[in-house]
Chains A and B, each alone.
Chain A
Amino acid sequence: MTVTRPVFTNGAILGAADLSTLAELDRDRDARHARHLHSPGVGAGLEVTKQDRATADEPPKPYVELTLQPGYAIDGSGRELVLGQSMPLSSERFFAANPNPPADLERTDGVSIWHPVFVRGSDQALANDSGPLGCQGVGGPTRVNEDVEIEYGGPGDERLDQTPPAPDAGPDDGDWLVLICFVRVDPAIRRLVDVATSVDGVEVESAGLRAETVIGRAGKVELRAGSAAEAGVPAMVVSDGDGGSLVFGLHDGAGGVSALLEVDSSGNLQVEGTLSGNQTAGSLRLASGVAGDGVILPLPAGVDQQSVDDGATVVTVLLVARAPDPRSAPLLGERFISAVCRIDGDRRLECWGSWFAGGAFTDVSTACDYVVMATVPEGGS
């Protein structure tokens, strides 16, 4: 479909179709902009608040009253969903949509598994209440309310694929579902009993931005976690100052970001904290101590056996046999000689020697000083 816009000339007689086209032009343009440049989700508000209640039964059974707060979302067709007033979540409408909700088998109280709850657009035509009415009135509505409806889904509906309209199309008629929460119900009392925003890795999503390039207007682009640049809000800033830099830090409340991590235009990295995790190529980690016969020598802190087994980390071990105190010789005058001081493939130590005098040997287990060195070869991870 080619995007068409009306052109007006003096003296032209405007029909309803011309004015409708004019109204739809902007609406379709906004929907295409939202759909192609943003991902669907909640833009503002739409929190679900909860109030604990209990039935009048004996003993009373707990349930909750849930209310969807005002807010804004865009659906996958680019249609905006505007909720101007809070709206209660209805148990009756839930059970109308889900007459037999499956029970959560990990519970013994009969409460159901989680069910997704969505909002969707709904066009509600308004009756004509202005201009000539009655027999002299024109047919058809003159206003359409772009309402928001709550829809209760079945388990798994939150993972259903939804197909966006054609690239040139305007918003749909409210077919797209935007997730706002999950609920559980107690079928015994036919009430909602719990609410959550994330279940099994699926969570209520905020509307996002689709972009391959983000260009700063004044030599800077900032990505931050809060709407206001208040003190303590984390932010990441790319700027062309001092030749260029990438900074991650916290807003200082005075318009700047106190750097916790900074890369300058020469590639120099400065970190305020400590670096941990996988070793960088060329780095060295050590473990040292004294070990007795039979024990397994430890790997340095931060080095795991898997990286050694994979060859990503090379381990070198230095052993120096310790000489026992001569006063501990079994017989007076005996001397000690180390016989074996080695490790096997599991870094298990075999370390023993012999006291001897006049050709007689007494073998004893002993200990060694050890240094275990772990390095990541150049070019490794």
Chain B
Amino acid sequence: MSEMMTVLHLETGHIVAAVSGVAEDSTVEDLVGDDGLSVALGTGRIRVRIPTNALEVTQLPFDARVLDGQGIFRVLDESVVTVSDNLPTALTPPFAELTVGEIGVVIFATMNGPVVERLEVPASKQLLPLTIVPPVGATAELIALPGDLLGIEATP
């Protein structure tokens, strides 16, 4: 068993895929190609494609829980932080304590390809429903929120 693993994560740190046995200098393109990573988080089979330029690569010590996707994990200071031992589920407010000004990521799945948007925790700390208008034709959205939240849902 290799001692290290390579994880793919969003800028929020949320890990969306992991692999071991690859070269230390593997890039996002090496691991997922130019088309990005198609993810189906949590329950159901709704998929959202994360474009390559929205992904980052980090090498971490081998962790079977992360590789098996048994929960929600984030990369923080070059180590793994367990956000939840449970798989991501539908996101419904209210959420855990949010910090005003923190930045989250929303990735919409559309027929023309993924659209990545940022959302900032407002002073009201009300994130859902999203104030971002989904692009035309959006069918699903992946949301990585401050406060360690991660989920996929069909675009309302």
- B and A form one assembly: yes
Which of these, A298, A365, A370, contacts B41 with CB under 8 Å?
Answer: A365
Stretch from B42-50, B107-115, B121-129, B134-142 contacting the other chain: B42-50
Contact B69 A298 (CB under 8 A): no
Q: Which residues of A contact B5 (CB under 8 A)?
A: 289-290
Asked if B99 is at the interface of the complex by the 8 Å CB criterion, the answer is no
Task: Give A63 to B62 CA distance when docked, in angstroms.
Answer: 60
B23 on interface, CB distance cutoff 8 Å: yes
A366: chain B residues at CB < 8 Å are 68-69
Residue with the greatest number of chain B CB neighbours at <10 A, chosen from A301, A346, A362, A367 = A367
Using Cβ atoms and an 8 Å threshold, which residues of chain B touch A348?
A: 32-33
A-B contacts besides A290-B5, A290-B19, A328-B85, 12 pairs, CB < 8 Å:
A289-B5, A291-B18, A291-B19, A292-B18, A294-B38, A295-B8, A295-B31, A298-B30, A324-B68, A363-B45, A364-B42, A364-B87
Q: How far is the CA of A363 from the CA of B152 in the complex (A)?
A: 13
Asked if B40 and A289 make an inter-chain contact with CB atoms under 8 angstroms apart, the answer reads no
CA distance A293 to B70 in the complex (A): 12
Q: Does B68 contact A294, Cβ atoms closer than 8 Å? A: no
Q: Determine whether the beta carbon of B17 is less than 8 Å from that of A292.
A: yes
User: Could you name 29 residue pairs across A and B whose Cβ atoms are closer than 8 Å?
Assistant: A287-B21, A289-B21, A290-B19, A290-B67, A292-B17, A292-B19, A292-B68, A292-B69, A294-B32, A294-B37, A294-B38, A295-B17, A295-B19, A295-B31, A295-B32, A298-B22, A328-B86, A328-B87, A330-B43, A330-B86, A330-B89, A346-B33, A348-B32, A352-B45, A364-B43, A364-B69, A365-B39, A365-B40, A367-B18
Binding site for A on B (CB under 8 A): 2, 5, 8, 16-23, 26, 30-33, 37-45, 64-65, 67-71, 85-87, 89
Residues of A in contact, count (CB < 8 Å): 28
Docked complex Cα distance between A339 and B8 (Å): 23
Asked if A363 contacts B44 (CB within 8 A), the reply is yes
Cross-interface CB contact of B21 among A292, A296, A298, A365, cutoff 8 Å: A298
Chain A residues, CB < 8 A from B64: 290
Q: Which residues of A contact B (CB under 8 A)?
A: 287-298, 301, 322, 324-325, 328, 330, 346, 348, 352, 362-367, 370
Q: A358 to B23: give the CA distance in the assembly, Å.
A: 43
Q: Closest approach, in angstroms, between the C-beta of B147 and any C-beta of chain A?
A: 21
With contacts A322-B68, A330-B86, A365-B69 taken as known, whether A289 is within 8 angstroms of B38 at the C-beta atoms is no
With both chains docked as a complex, state the minimum distance between the C-beta of B78 and any C-beta of chain A, in angstroms. 19
Interface of B is mostly: loop
B-side contacts of A288, CB under 8 Å? 21
Ordered nearest first, which 4 A-B pairs have the shortest CB separation? A289-B21, A289-B20, A328-B70, A291-B19
Question: Once the chains bind, are B33 and A293 in contact (CB under 8 Å)?
Answer: no
> How distant is the Cα of A159 from the Cα of B2 in the complex, in angstroms?
55
Tell me the complex Cα distance, A325–B22, Å. 24
Point out the residues of chain A lying under 8 angstroms from B42, CB to CB: 364
Contacts of A324 in B (CB 8 A): 68-70
For A301, the chain B residues whose CB sits under 8 A away are: 23
Residues of chain B lying within 8 A (CB to CB) of residue A364: 40, 42-43, 69, 87
Contact in complex: B23, A367 (CB < 8 Å)? no
Q: How far is the CB of A283 from chain B (nearest CB, A)?
A: 19
Q: Among A287, A294, A352, A370, point to the contact of B17 (Cβ < 8 A).
A: A294
- Complex Cα distance A289/B24, Å? 13
A290→B37 contact, CB < 8 A? no
**List of B residues within 8 angstroms of A362 by Cβ:** 43-44
- A289 touching B39 in the complex, CB below 8 Å, given contacts A328-B71, A365-B69: no
Complex CA gap A293/B47 in Å reads 12
Contact A296 B70 (CB under 8 A): no
Which residues from chain B contact A365 at a C-beta distance below 8 Å?
A: 39-41, 69
